[in-house]
Amino acid sequence: MERASSWFKKQILFLVSSIWQIIQALVLFSLAFSGLGCALLLRHLEYNGAIIAGVGVLVEIFAILLCYLIFKKFLKAEEPTLPEMKKKADK
């Protein structure tokens, strides 16, 4: 029983420590579907297809730009190189 509670506690601590990554994932998910949501809203408000398509494309271009900036920042984080990892493993 104690092992299960220890495992559960580890998992909760992992989730708490990675809360920023979870928030970023939710932002990326919402950006990915923002054009669809905008198109559905405009269709519900009975706009014509040209306006729906134009606004949807503009929203998606903005969302892709934001996703690019987020991924660029994420990918700039330095990964440990192979020799550094071997040094840590030898210690």
Query: Nearest-CA neighbor of 44 among 33, 35, 52?
Result: 52
Give the start-to-end residue ranges of the domains of the chain. 2-90
Per-residue pLDDT tens, the chain, 91 aa: give them: 567 778 888 888 888 888 888 888 888 888 888 888 888 899 999 999 899 999 988 988 988 888 888 878 777 766 656 665 555 555 5
Cα(55)–Cα(48) distance, integer angstroms:
11
Residue given tokens 């969302």 in the structure block: 63
Encoded amino acid at 26, one letter: L
